[in-house]
Amino acid sequence: MLSETEIIIRLVLGAVLGGIIGFERQVHGRQAGFRTQLLVCVASVLVMIVSEYYHHLSYMNPSYVRVDPGRIAAGAITGIGFIGAGAILKMGITIQGLTTAACLWMVSAVGLAIGAGLYAAGVAASALTLFSLLVLRVIERRMSRLVFKFITITADEKIEDDKIKSILKKQGSHISKTDYEKDNSKGEITYDITISLRHHVPMKSMLDELSSINGVRKVVIRG
């Protein structure tokens, strides 16, 4: 059975670790910031302590129903999934909040580790999380990143798609995905093309070249 001092130490340590990770999220203006991450971590610590308490009672008293301490912890992780889903936003073709949702999940796991008395694991996981958020962020920004563009082309059925591919490749782009859909009633075909670029390409010149193909009715570039 845990002493009151041990319980307080675990709760305070969970608050400190969750607060540190939450402070980083708060500084960068993310939805789930300082208070949210701190509360999630402390709640996870408390859930684990309660789970251990009932497990201890069931072990010491055979008349009690045996309680698996992992079941309550698993329920906590599932519940955090709903909070994480609320932190993810879809704005057009861009999805934001995935890192914040992952942080909530990690903070919950850290809290469960601290609640179980695995102090080294909790502190190490928090340190790795901060390393990922602070150091890897800088490295990621300096890396040559692919830029994705989404092109929708509406054209006559008899258009030669080889011309489209040659123009895109000439512009230095790589075709990642191509889908098309025919509309026999209108006598047209719609191409949905995803391309990737490693350098900036003037979209206007690409738009003009694609629009100049005989049979093309409309070209839309997004991203």
Helix (H) or strand (E) holding 127: helix 119-142
Taking the CB of residue 151, how many other CB atoms lie within 10 A of it?
Answer: 23
Residues in the chain predicted with pLDDT less than 70, given as ranges, are 1, 59, 62-67, 69, 89-95, 142-145, 157-159, 198-201
Domain ranges for the chain: 4-142, 147-222
Residue 156 has a pLDDT of 82
Residue 158 has a pLDDT of 67
pLDDT digits (tens, 9 = 90+) for 36-58: 899 999 999 999 988 888 777 77
Q: 147-222 in CATH: which number?
A: 3.30.70.260
Backbone angles phi, psi at 45, to 5 degrees: -60, -45
How far is residue 18's CA from residue 199's CA, in Å, rounded to a whole number?
A: 39
pLDDT digits (tens, 9 = 90+) for 20-34: 999 988 888 777 788
Checking phi first, is residue 156 left (phi over 0); if not, alpha (psi -120 to 50) or beta? beta
CB 87 within 8 Å of CB 36 = no
Task: Enumerate helices (H) and strands (E) in the chain, giving the number of each.
Answer: 7, 6
Taking the CB of residue 13, how many other CB atoms lie within 10 A of it?
Answer: 21
- pTM for this prediction: 0.63
pLDDT digits (tens, 9 = 90+) for 164-182: 788 888 777 888 888 888 8
Classified as helix, coil or strand, 115 is helix
Q: What is each CA distance from 162 to 82, 156, 158, in whole angstroms?
A: 46, 14, 12
Strands (E), 52-208: 89-91, 94-96, 147-156, 174-183, 188-197
CB 190 within 8 Å of CB 180 = yes
How far is residue 160's CA from residue 107's CA, in Å, rounded to a whole number?
A: 53
